[in-house]
Amino acid sequence: MPVNTYQRAAPGHFYAVGVGPGSPDLLTLRALRIVESVDVIVAPCSELSSDSLALQVVRDVPGQREILEHVYPMERDEEKTEASWGAVADVVAERCGTGRSVAHLTIGDPLIYSTACYLLSQLERRLPKDRIHVVPGISAFQAAAAIAGSPLTLQDDRLTLLPATHLEDVERALDYSETVVIYKIGPRAQAVAGLLKRRNLARRAWMVCYAEQGDKERVITGLDELPEGRIGYMSTVIVPVRRRGWSAEGS
């Protein structure tokens, strides 16, 4: 059953809902309709946080609903991660089985480096496919680019989005793409900045920390020298490498 802008959450259906980067006014109309009408909300919260940022985004949306906060592990452990989200999937399937609608909230978009991806894979074995829906949301890199006011792509430019986890992958992306977006900066910020300096790209790059999250938001233009203090996990680096223009084979 397709989801449209004006539809309310249907009984027994599940919705992975992207709530955008953090500001309530960046909720889409579709997301707002689902949150207003859903019976149960699953709100993810990492072990490192005291509350759910996704839940904060919708706290003023009217409606009567059950709230289930799920604390998930922030570890690179496949078995532990699968077990954690499998337990949530069991609860979701139970609620849907009794005719209630369930929404899982996620910052950004549900299909881009999101906890929703783990839950969706688990629900494929527990719910009919036509009862599982994804409501897209505005991603951090889109919000970061809008804050900087700089185009991500033009003409035949290539855009690569990847985590900072493996620096060699970032370097290959710089060779291939006209614009590189780097997620999951955190403790790798200095290493990423060092790579960009070696490639003479540090001055043209920028970083947005906690985009659209009120007083936490910070914009760093040029990565020659990073500011003192910890760079948060929810930081995005955008590197305009070059412009490709219209390629001959594409003309």
- Pair (112, 166) in one structural domain: no
Checking if the pLDDT of 19 tops 70, the result is: yes
CA distance linking residue 113 with residue 237, whole number of Å:
15
- Pair (161, 84) in one structural domain: no
Count of domains in the chain? 2
- Pair (147, 134) in one structural domain: no
Domain coverage including residue 91: 14-138
CA distance linking residue 13 with residue 103, whole number of Å:
9
Q: Give the range among 151-155, 167-171, 177-181, 242-246 with minimum mean pLDDT.
A: 242-246
Checking if the pLDDT of 243 tops 50, the result is: yes
- Pair (87, 134) in one structural domain: yes
CATH, residue 118:
3.40.1010.10
CATH, residue 207:
3.30.950.10
pLDDT of residue 61: 94
With CA atoms as reference, report the closest residue to 68 among 32, 96, 103.
103
pLDDT digits (tens, 9 = 90+) for 55-102: 999 999 998 899 998 887 767 778 888 888 899 999 999 999 999 999
7: in domain: no
Give the N- to C-terminal CA distance of the chain in Å, as an integer: 40
pLDDT of residue 1: 46
- Pair (108, 58) in one structural domain: yes
pLDDT of residue 225: 86
5: in domain: no
Confidence of residue 5 (pLDDT cuts 50, 70, 90): very low
- Residue where one domain finishes, among candidates 138, 171, 199: 138
- Pair (120, 182) in one structural domain: no
Confidence of residue 23 (pLDDT cuts 50, 70, 90): very high
- Residue where one domain finishes, among candidates 105, 138, 171: 138
- Pair (47, 119) in one structural domain: yes
- CA angle (16, 18, 24) in 5-degree steps: 135
CA distance linking residue 44 with residue 106, whole number of Å:
7
- Pair (118, 186) in one structural domain: no
Which of helix, strand or coil describes residue 236?
Answer: strand
Q: What is the pTM of this model?
A: 0.91
CA distance linking residue 136 with residue 109, whole number of Å:
5
- Pair (132, 155) in one structural domain: no
Share of the chain above pLDDT 70, in %: 93
Q: Give the range among 15-19, 82-86, 244-248 with minimum mean pLDDT.
A: 244-248
